[in-house]
Amino acid sequence: MRSWKIGLAIAGAVGVLAIASSANATVATTGISAALDRLATVEQVDFRWGGHRHCWYEDGWHGPGWYWCGYHHRRGLGWGGGEGYRGWRH
């Protein structure tokens, strides 16, 4: 009878430790995720005009400037303008 009570006590203690450990890991993960979100230094901004997203490219077919995203090497297509196009800055 005594060994049964000791076994039950040990099983209960292991269960409590497992739950506490899991809770601490969840809190730590959530805290780290929140801290990384606050440290983000890049702001995602969409530059849209005429139904197209525009991206800044240094090496486009018409020189540095704003092109439709992905079109900077498609000669004759997607050119928006250079620095200051639509008041945008890269």
pLDDT digits (tens, 9 = 90+) for 44-80: 568 898 999 999 999 999 999 999 999 999 999 999 9
Q: What is the pTM of this model?
A: 0.50
**What would you measure as the largest C-alpha separation in the chain, in angstroms?**
88
Q: Where are the domains of the chain?
A: 1-44, 47-87
CA distance 47 to 55: 7
CA distance 71 to 2: 78
